[in-house]
Every structure is written in C-alpha cells, then in structure tokens.
Structure 1
Amino acid sequence: MKFKAALILIPMALLLSGCWDKLELEEQAYVVVLGLDTAKDNNVNVTFQIANPQVGSTDKGNAPNEPPSDTITFSASDILAAKELANSVVTRKLSFAHLRTLVISEEMAKSNLLANVLGYSMRDPELRREINIVVSREKSSQFIHKNKPKLETRPHKYYAFMQQRWRDTAHVPYATLNRYMQRVHGELFLAIYGTTERLAAQSSKDEDSYKAGEIPQKAGDPVQIMGSAVIRNGLMIGTLTGEETRHALLLRKKALAHNFVSSFPDPQNRNYRITLRLIKEKNSKIKINVKKDPPEVDVEIPITLQILSIPSLVNYVSDLNNQKLLKQAVKEELENTSKRIVAKCQKNYQGEPFIWYLEARKQFWTMDEFEQYDWEKKFTEASVNIKYDLKIESFGKQMAPQRIEQED
C-alpha cells in the first residue's frame, strides 16, 4: 500500500514542483514611490519612481555612474493599466513588492476619480494595504522629481526613515491605504500633507502651528511634510496644521505617537516658553451618551509631563506653588486647543477624525440602528467635554541649572 502511494505521489511532486515562474533580481524593477495626478478624459497620470538596487549597495562598483532611481510617468485609466503600459517601455518587469509610499496631488485628492482608482487598483496582490498616503500641494510628479535628499542615496530609505520620524513627532497622521479604504464612507480620514513649494514663511512662537510649505527653513532638503489633509467620502475638503493633527491624534482612544516634545508659554514670564515632553502611556477614556439630544461626549486624556527646559529660570523644581501653576497653565492650553479643533471639525468639516464613532457604535444593538442614528450628523451638534489629566514626572537630570549673572 505504501509502495503504491509512493508511486502516485512522486510523479505528482515532479510535475507540480519547478521554477517556471521565477524571476532573478536583475530582471525586476522595484517601484518604491507611486504618484497620482489628474489627466484628460478621466485618465490618470501615474508616476513610477523605480529604485536602482546597485546604487547604495556593495555592488555599486559595477555601476559607478548610474542614478539611484529612474522616474517615469504614463497616462492611463488606472494604476494597473499604467503598470502594464510601463512594462512595454521599462526593460525589467515592474514590481510593487517594495512599494511603501503613494503620493497624490491635491488636485487629484479633490476629484471624484481618486476613490475609484484606488479601490480597483487594490485587486493587484502586490499593492499592499500598508502603503502610506501623502497628499502633495503640487503635482505628485513634481513632488517626486524635486525630492532629492542629500543624506539618503536610495529613495526608499528616505521614506522609511521619515515614516519613523512622523511617528515620533506626531506632526502628521498614520495614514495607510487600508485606513483610507476603511473610512472612505462618512468618517473623516487624515492623510499626510507635504510639498516642495515654499509659501511666505511666517515665524511663530508655537513651533508646530505650521503646515507643509510654511516652515521657516533655510537650505536642506526641499520637501516639507507637516500637518494633514482632511478627506471625507474620498474627497479632500481641507487641511490641519501640525498642532491640530497632534491634538486630533491625542483625542483618539489609542495613540500611535506615545510621546512627543512641545513648548508652552511660561505662566510666570510670558516672554519665554517652557519645553515639555508629553507622554501618553494609557488610552483615552471616551464616554458617549447617545440617549441625549444632542449627544454628550466626555473625553479624558492621561498625560505625563517631563520638563526639558525652563529658559526663564523660574524655580519650578522645588517650589510646589509654581509647579501647580505650571500644571494648570499647560492643562488649560491643551484643553482650549483641543476644543478649538473639535469645533472646527463640527463646523467646517461636518465630521470627526477622532474615531469616536467606534465608541458611539457600541451603544446600539445592530448596525442598522447605528446607521439610522446618523452619527456624523449628530456629532456636529454634540456637546463635547475634554479633560486632560496631567502628572509631572521629572525635571531632567540637572535639577537646578546654573544661573548666569548679568553684569551692570
């Protein structure tokens, strides 16, 4: 019996195994950045930035004069059609296996074509849902061509490192293709906002109250990425600054950016600002009462503070009264800013990017009841109470900085 089974299985293994569909690395062209722009006749201009695997590797000696990447643009009905068209020009087979970044122009983000193009393109198994979405003020092809970072030779490394920095600073949201598709109907979706264009720079004491293009920068990389693009029903309807984006993320139950640095006015000397590290170790407490009309939303956000610098040299270390004053001032500043952002979303954007709808949905037995309730409309009239629960953890390693005496 065993001998007969072996006679059957061995020929099957020989027939089913093989390497008929294998491709060597040098036969493939890896797209690391994809760009989308509007075109005529409901077509899309698709830009492919293709990485050169030899540049930046130990094999660079075989290609000393080759560029780190090649960028080409094709006009087609969607991404998959443009990919097939590109395969007739590029000598190697295009692959999305290493694609991490999708750049969409603001014009494209405001068109009805975007949701359809992204929805149908996700049928390609290589187009992963973890791709980060960046909305650029200018055309995406211009954004990709102008982005030439000096410290990173390989383009995919630049975006990989920047995505980690975005999580550290919380100036931009965590925006992936999967999250976009989840919130394409009804809920607000926040996408990363970037540009290579410079607007009239206006210096501000508040270092995170900028959007991309407004940061007062001299020299360095041309790309600025800060703030978020607000998308509703697949269409871009506005933008948020870096500060507003931070608070939108803090108001969510779970925070991906668990700590970041920010400055606040010194309550004892308004000519100075105190730099703090804000740490969110626990989830926010969100309670929604849908039985009231309008509904009531209570949000409590636990934050641990670390004092990093006190330029005014006011004694906040040993003076408990000063500590209490500082804590109250930071609490009021955070609560007032969060309330302004909630009011802006209620009035201007007619929706909420705080993912509170998940908490509201728990109050209903069925999805039909929740949909009939129309949470997005109810949110615009909701009474929102925001409370920050602050705790000062430390004042740094140097408890009492050296005071510099001014000579008369």
Structure 2
Amino acid sequence: MKVLKRGFLIVLSIFLLSGCWNRIEINDIAIVTAVGLDLFEDNQLRLSLQVAVPSQLGPATGTTKGGKSTFIISEMGGTISEAYRQLQEKLSRKIFFSHSRVLIIGEDLAKNGVTHMLDFYARYQEPRMHSSIIVTKGRAVDILKQEPTLENVSAEVANEIIKRKVGLRISIRDFLDMLLTEGVEPVAPQFVLVPLEVKSDSQSKEKQAINGAGVFKGDKLVGWMDDSETRGILWLRNEMEEGVITVNIGEERGGGKISTNIIRTESDIVPELKDGKVTITINTRAEMNVLENASEVNLGDPENIDKLEKEIEKEIKDRMRMTLDKAQGELGSDIFGFGEALYKKYPKEWNNTYKEKWDDEFSEVEVIVKPKVFVRRVGLIRHS
C-alpha cells in the first residue's frame, strides 16, 4: 500500500511540475539594445532599433570576428505599435525589448510632443521603464549608427556616460513622473556627436557625448540648455554629485587658477508665501577638495582658504543664476520643481490660486540663491 501511495505521489508531482513553460530561447529572439524615434512627413513616426548580433559580441571592442556587433533596422508608422509590427515582419526572430537601455528622441519629434510614445512604454510589458531617455538635435538614428570604440555597442556608450554622473540622468519613469506631477516640467539629457580629438588636423570619427539638456514644457521640447547651464540644473535640482570648479585668482594676488573637485553637495528649495508674493530660496551646501593650485596663493594660510571658499560660492551662484534666468525668461519652464515645492508647503493656496496660472507666475518668482562652500582638504603641497 505504501509503495502504491509513493508511486501515485511521484506521478502526480510530474504533472504538477510545469517547468519553464513560457521560456524564450536566445536563438529565437532579436535583442534590442537601443531605440530611436524620429518624426517624418505627414506626422509619420520612424522607429529605429539597434539590434545585437550575439555571435559578433566580444569583450571591450565594438566589432569582433570581422563583423559588426549590431545592425540598425527601421520602419515607419502612425504609432510605435504600428511601426513595431511592420518591423517584426522584416525579422525572422521575435523582437525583444527587455535589454534596451536607451531611448533616443529626435528634435523634430520632441518638439511635436512625446506623450503618445511614452504611452507605449507604459503599457507594453517588455520595454524597461528605467531605461535612460535622451534627446538629440537632428535625428535619433544618427546616434544609433555610431560605431563604438571601447564598448560593444553604441547604446552601451551612452549608458556608461550617464552612469559616470557627468550630466543629467533621467529614466523614462523619471520623465513620466515629471510629466504627470503638478509644479514641475520634464527635462532630459542631450546627446551630440563630437570628435574624440579637439582641434586636430587628423580625421577624427565623431562619437557620442552628453552636452547639455533638452527642456520641455508639458510633453513638448521648448529649448536647450548648454553644458554650463546644465550644471546649474544639477545644482538647483540637488543632483550634483561630481564635478570640478575652477576659479580665477586676481592679479593683485598673483593671478592663476585653482581647481577644486566636489566631494558632496546638498540643495533644498524653500518656498515662502507672503502678501500674495512667492519667494523661492535655494540653500546649497558644498564640500570641496583642492585638486590643482596653478597660482601663487599659499593654501596653508586660513585667510586664503576663506577667500577661496567665497570665490567658489560666487562661481556656483553665477552658474545657478545663469540657468535660472534662461529657464524663467527665454524658456518659461519650471524644470526645478518650484511649483511642486510650493504645493507641498501651501497646498490650499496652490490649488486655489497658483495651480492654474503657475506658468505665468514662475517667470516672475523671486529666487534667492544661497551657496555655502567648505574646502576640506588642500593637500600637503600648499604652494604651486
């Protein structure tokens, strides 16, 4: 009887063990590493996919075995879904989005509006919401076509640059959150094609680089911030993690320059509402180390350290002010979240007075910038 029971349990367990019933073999899929979206005539969308060639992927090189590690395939459609289905008809393998790390949007499409594109990402289960979103002047497909030097695929170049924290890092989820949150407008890093060598007579191939940011109002691109202005965005949004600040030393102190690198920073937005007037105060605290002293200043003198801290504070304030002036003036877009901060502190006043007219109010808001810098280490070499 016991033997019979054991046999029955073994047979039953075989039927209950379903295994990986829905597994997808790697030989049956086309792995997408990056997605590019551009706008063409008649509001047609061009969907471009960078697809990996697994047999050609090798360590730390763009191509191996004499072939390219990726290829580009594209198709037109009224929506992403329509273009995607037509692309699928071109490929013998199932398009697989789950490994895509970058979504690149061309300028014309960004200016036309991106809500419907992000709707596809929010609904379809394969694309990853934490993929980076990037905007570029010109066409997105041109970024995808660039051959990498150090990485296997060009999408990985973009991803690694973003991970190095040299500029804005915005995921699709972050962008959607900004788009749906009252009192803050979306912003995304801008990628451009730049040569590896500067002012060189040799023919240097263009490569990808972060160089500024695309500023949105609602879901439409309204303008660009250059690299210096984007550093101001990072300070104002409390996202500055790494960087170098160089200050000029006056001729009365011997001239030259001193470069410092950022250890840590913290910025907070403090809104105040008095007599119907909104004031925003930005309190910024930064800790720095001296990286290079190309001046005659003796860094062993505490008085000189105090002066250096004041000069760095002025440099930070100037950068933030430059960014604020452009955002409040030319672009009229609250990418810093001042409205969101106002809503959190004064929810009743926001809903009754400022919610419907914040676009106009933002440009008139007085913003007070208060940076405080501490130089922690100057090194053992106190003179240049």
Structure-1 separation of matches of 2:364 and 2:130: 34
Query: What is the CA-CA distance between 1:13 and the residue it aligns to?
Result: 7.9
Structure-1 separation of matches of 2:297 and 2:23: 68
Structure-1 separation of matches of 2:309 and 2:20: 66
Contact 1:105 1:139 in 2 (8 A): yes
Structure-1 separation of matches of 2:11 and 2:328: 67
1:189 and 2:186 equivalent? yes
Aligned residues: 370
Aligned ranges 1:288-327 → 2 under 5 Å: 288-315=271-298, 317-327=299-309
1:179 and 2:178 equivalent? no
Partner SS state of residue 190, structure 2: strand
Specify every segment of 5 or more residues in structure 1 that has no aligned partner in the other structure, as ranges: 199-212, 402-408
Query: What is the CA-CA distance between 1:216 and the residue it aligns to?
Result: 4.5
Structure-1 separation of matches of 2:243 and 2:147: 27
1:158-189 CA-to-partner distances (Å, cap 9, x unmatched) read: 23322212x1x2xx311111122122266322
| Match 2:263 to one of 241, 255, 279 | 279
Query: What is the CA-CA distance between 1:74 and the residue it aligns to?
Result: 0.4
Structure-2 separation of matches of 1:77 and 1:40: 11
Structure-1 separation of matches of 2:14 and 2:223: 58
Structure-1 separation of matches of 2:361 and 2:14: 61
Partner SS state of residue 281, structure 2: strand
Amino acid at match of 1:349: L
Query: What is the CA-CA distance between 1:398 and the residue it aligns to?
Result: 3.2
Instruction: Give the equivalent residue in structure 2 for 1:68.
Output: 69
Contact 2:143 2:193 in 1 (8 A): yes
Contact 2:184 2:338 in 1 (8 A): no
Flag the 1:382–1:365 CA change in 2: closer, same or farther, 3 A: closer
How many percent of aligned residue pairs carry the same amino acid?
Answer: 21
| Match 1:391 to one of 358, 371, 374 | 374
Structure-1 separation of matches of 2:161 and 2:194: 18
Instruction: Give the equivalent residue in structure 2 for 1:135.
Output: 135
Q: Is the deviation greater in 98-107 or in 178-187?
A: 178-187
Structure-2 separation of matches of 1:270 and 1:74: 62
Instruction: Give the equivalent residue in structure 2 for 1:406.
Output: none
Query: What is the CA-CA distance between 1:271 and the residue it aligns to?
Result: 5.5
1:9-46 CA-to-partner distances (Å, cap 9, x unmatched) read: 98698368254432111211111111111123322001
Q: Hey, which of these two has a bigger chunk of strand by percent?
A: 2
Query: What is the CA-CA distance between 1:371 and the residue it aligns to?
Result: 5.9
Instruction: Give the equivalent residue in structure 2 for 1:151.
Output: 150
Query: What is the CA-CA distance between 1:48 and the residue it aligns to?
Result: 0.4
Structure-2 separation of matches of 1:374 and 1:190: 21
Amino acid at match of 1:248: I
Structure-2 separation of matches of 1:339 and 1:385: 9
Aligned ranges 1:199-218 → 2 under 5 Å: 216=198, 218=200
1:248 and 2:248 equivalent? no
Flag the 1:10–1:97 CA change in 2: closer, same or farther, 3 A: farther
Contact 1:335 1:388 in 2 (8 A): yes
Partner SS state of residue 237, structure 1: strand
RMSD, aligned CA = 3.0
Instruction: Give the equivalent residue in structure 1 for 2:108.
Output: 107
Structure-2 separation of matches of 1:301 and 1:77: 46
Contact 2:282 2:370 in 1 (8 A): yes
TM-score (norm 2): 0.86
Query: What is the CA-CA distance between 1:73 and the residue it aligns to?
Result: 1.1
Flag the 1:9–1:262 CA change in 2: closer, same or farther, 3 A: farther
Query: What is the CA-CA distance between 1:363 and the residue it aligns to?
Result: 2.3
1:42-85 CA-to-partner distances (Å, cap 9, x unmatched) read: 22001000012222348x9xx83432001011001222222222
Aligned ranges 1:340-379 → 2 under 5 Å: 340-365=322-347, 368-369=351-352, 372=355, 374-379=357-362
Structure-1 separation of matches of 2:25 and 2:88: 16
Structure-2 separation of matches of 1:245 and 1:69: 32
1:307-356 CA-to-partner distances (Å, cap 9, x unmatched) read: 111112321x1223322222222212221331232122111122322123
Contact 2:289 2:378 in 1 (8 A): yes
Instruction: Give the equivalent residue in structure 1 for 2:119.
Output: 119
Query: What is the CA-CA distance between 1:8 and the residue it aligns to?
Result: 11
Partner SS state of residue 153, structure 1: coil
Partner SS state of residue 45, structure 1: strand
TM-score (norm 1): 0.81
Flag the 1:235–1:365 CA change in 2: closer, same or farther, 3 A: closer
Structure-2 separation of matches of 1:86 and 1:16: 36
Instruction: Give the equivalent residue in structure 2 for 1:209.
Output: none
